[in-house]
Each structure stands twice: as C-alpha cells, then as structure tokens.
Amino acid sequence: MKTVVLPGGETVPALGQGTWYMGERSSSRAAEVAAIREGVELGMTLVDTAEMYADGGAEEMLSEALNGIRDKVFLVSKVYPHNASSKGVQAACERSLERMETDVIDLYLLHWRGGVPFEDTVRGFEALQKDGKIRHWGVSNLDTDDMEELLDVDGGENCQVNQVLYNLSRRGPEYDLLPFLAKNEIPAMAYSPIEQARLPKTGALGDIARKYGVEPFTVALAWLLRRSDVIAIPKAARIEHVRENRKAADIELDAEDLAALDRAFPPPTRKRPLEML
C-alpha cells in the first residue's frame, strides 16, 4: 500500500475509506460493515467519518465494523463548525467516541469553517489531545487564505491534514492550495475522489481503464495517488467496489496516461474558490 507521512511523522495509507451516505438505513448495515472490514483487510486502514454523516449513523455503523479490529485502523472523524468552540468540540468528541465505542480518535477534523475563531477550536483540540481523546487534529474545506490564517494561530502549526474536494473534475486546488500545503508539509485528503460516481466512464478514463484491465473510477483514484502528498478516501458500500478501489494503489500511470487525462480534464490556469459538496 502506498503511504503518506503526516507532519507529526506518522505514516498512513494513501488510499483509505470514506463513509459519507453510509449508516443511513438499517437494511444496508450488514453490507456496509462487511465493506469496511474488507477494506481494512486489504490495507485501506484509514477510515474517515463525521458526526454529520447520517446524523451520527455512520459513526454508529463503524462501532460494529471496527469491532475486534480497531487497533488496525487509523480513525478519522469531523466536528461540525457550530460545535467547534473550545468546550463544544470536547462535548462533540465525547459523543463521537461513544457512538463509535472507542477510546480515542486518531485524527479529528474541523469539518468546515464557521463562526468560531480558529484560536478557540485549536484550544479545544489541544485539550482533547492532552486528555488522550484524540491523537492528532486537522481541518477540512479550508482554502489557501484560511490555511494561512490557521497557521498564524498559536498551535495552528500542528494541523496534520486539510481534507478537500479534489478529483479529476475538481482540479482547482492544484493552482495554489496544494502548493501551499506542500510547502508547509501538510497532506491533502481528497474527499469525493470519483465525484460520487459522476465522472465519465468513456473517453480518456475508459481508454486507460481498458489498458490496465480495471474500471474507469479505479483510474481516477490512481491519478490522485500519483502524488505523494494526497490521501484519497473513496466510499464503497459493497465488497466488490472496495476490491476495485484497492486496485488503484497498484497502478502506476505513465506519462501518456497523464497527458491524456490532462487533455480530458485540464488543470486550472487561474485561482478558483475552493469547491465543496
């Protein structure tokens, strides 16, 4: 499995698993649990969730999925902006820990920027670290100017990751955000890395997929994994989908492949506001 090194020195898989839209229906629980466990078995041991997903349902699903294998998993969750005050983040974290039936969250993220000052949120994160409730903290959906402001806050330099919308059809972060993160040695975590299955299956993606004997979405993931500073977290609610995603970590796209994808999905030539889903 390809890996990415966090600023604190810890190594995590470059290909993990997301849980957005999971935990919403009890009828899907068994399949979702099986998919997460299969991914862990295949080395996709970074698992991302949030208190927002299914109003806590995704975290509750993970309590079952991680039963007996929690020590193998690098667990990521996120706090709502309105819960991100110094005291609010501590209460929210306690609720997440209870839902997931775990003692610690490996990486706890501010889901997006709200009205709470960064200073207050960072103090809350630091208190959670001191109490052993979280091991690392980071952010999500912060653009370059937000990141600059965060890093100027006392303790802000301890940010371990910025989770953003990034895929072949959403290449805006390449213009200035990814270079800024790279300069500060902060990895990006790409959510919706296959645009929630809306990327085209024909054209360049289809052609390259046939070349490697995989699905087009697998190629889209391999394209993200070409970078040493990006973690991709595709959601897969079926074992078959998990196995197809896993193949992306074994594909090395060549210069011809990358050129074809650049023609089909041109890189940005100017600054674009950070997109969100």
Domains with residue ranges and CATH for the chain? 3-264 (3.20.20.100)
pLDDT tens sequence for the chain (277 residues):
999 999 999 999 999 999 999 999 999 999 999 999 999 999 999 999 999 999 999 999 999 999 999 999 999 999 999 999 999 999 999 999 999 999 999 999 999 999 999 999 999 999 999 999 999 999 999 999 999 999 999 999 999 999 999 999 999 999 999 999 999 999 999 999 999 999 999 999 999 999 999 999 999 999 999 999 999 999 999 999 999 999 999 999 999 999 999 999 999 999 999 999 9
d(C-alpha 96, C-alpha 101), whole Å: 8
Give the number of other CB atoms < 10 A from CB of residue 171: 16
Residue 224 near residue 213 (C-beta atoms within 8 A): no
pTM: 0.96
Which residue blocks in the chain are alpha helix, DSSP H? 29-41, 57-65, 86-100, 118-130, 144-152, 177-183, 203-212, 216-224, 239-246, 255-264
